[in-house]
Amino acid sequence: MNNYVVVVRLLTEAIFGSGYSIPGSVDLEIVCDEYGFPYMKAKTFKGNLREEVEKTIQVLGEEYKPIICELLGEENQGDNMWRNLKFSDCRLREGTRKVLEYAVNSGEIHPWEIKGALTDIRKFTSIDENGSAAKGTLRQIRVIKRGLEFEVQISCERELREEELGLLAIGLKSLRHIGSMRTRGKGEVECTLHILEDNEYKDITDYYVDRFLKGVNFGE
C-alpha cells in the first residue's frame, strides 16, 4: 500500500466555512481545530474533488466513470468500500503545524493568536440598483490568508493502477477553487499529488497526467 499526499497551496484568500456566526464579531466563521489552525473537513475536500473529476469525465469520456466510482466510492457500495481512497482533513502542512503545536502546548502562545496570525477579517456588502451599499447587508467574514500550504493524506488498502493515478492527478490539477465564495475570487488553489519515497514526498502530478493523456482516445 502506497501513501500519497495532496499539497494545496492557497493562491488567494480562502474560506473553509463552518456555517457559524459569532455575535458582535463575524457573520461567517471558518473551521478551526483546538490549536487555532484553520482546516477543511475531509468530506468537503473530497466533494470538491469529485465535482471537478466528474467535469473532467465529460471531456474524456463516460468509459472512465467506473474508475471514479472505484476511487471515490458511490452509494450502496457495501463490502467494496475498502477499495476506495481514504482522505484525511485538509490541514496546514505538518512541518509548520508541529512547531506551533509545541509552542501552544508549552504555553508560549495561545490558539487564538495562531488563528489571528493565519486569518483576516473581510467586510462584504451588497450593492443596490443605484450602485450604493444596500442597507443592512454589511457582513464580516473570516478568511484564511493566501500563500499558506495545506495537505491531505490519501491512502488505499490496495495498489492503485496507473490509469487511476492519472485520473486522480488530472482531477487535482483541474481543481482550481475550494471552499466558500468561489465565485467572488476566494479559494483559488494549486493542487499537486505527491508520493512518499525514501522519506521524502515526490511530486508525481505531471508524470501521471502525461502518461494518462497519452493513452486517451478523444474520438479522433
Q: Tell me whether strands 139-144 and 91-92 are parallel, antiparallel or unpaired.
A: unpaired
- What is the DSSP code (8-state) at residue 198? T
R_g over Cα of the chain? 20
Residue 219 lies in a domain: no
For residue 152, which amino acid is it?
A: V
In the chain, the number of structural domains is 1
- What is the DSSP code (8-state) at residue 133? B
Q: Which of 123, 148, 114 is nearest to 32 (CA)?
A: 114
Q: Which residue has the cell 481512497?
A: 85
Please give the grid coordinates belonging to residue 191: 493542487
Q: What is the pTM of this model?
A: 0.85
Residue 187 lies in a domain: yes
Residue 220 lies in a domain: no
Residue 51 lies in a domain: yes
Full residue range of the structural domain in which residue 83 is found: 3-214
What is d(CA 144, CA 123) in angstroms, rounded to the nearest whole number? 14
One digit per residue, pLDDT tens: the chain, 220 residues?
568 999 999 999 999 976 555 555 677 889 999 999 999 999 999 999 999 888 888 888 888 888 888 888 875 555 556 678 999 999 999 888 999 999 999 999 999 999 999 999 988 766 656 655 556 556 788 999 999 999 999 998 888 889 999 999 999 999 999 998 888 889 999 999 999 888 888 999 999 999 988 876 544 4
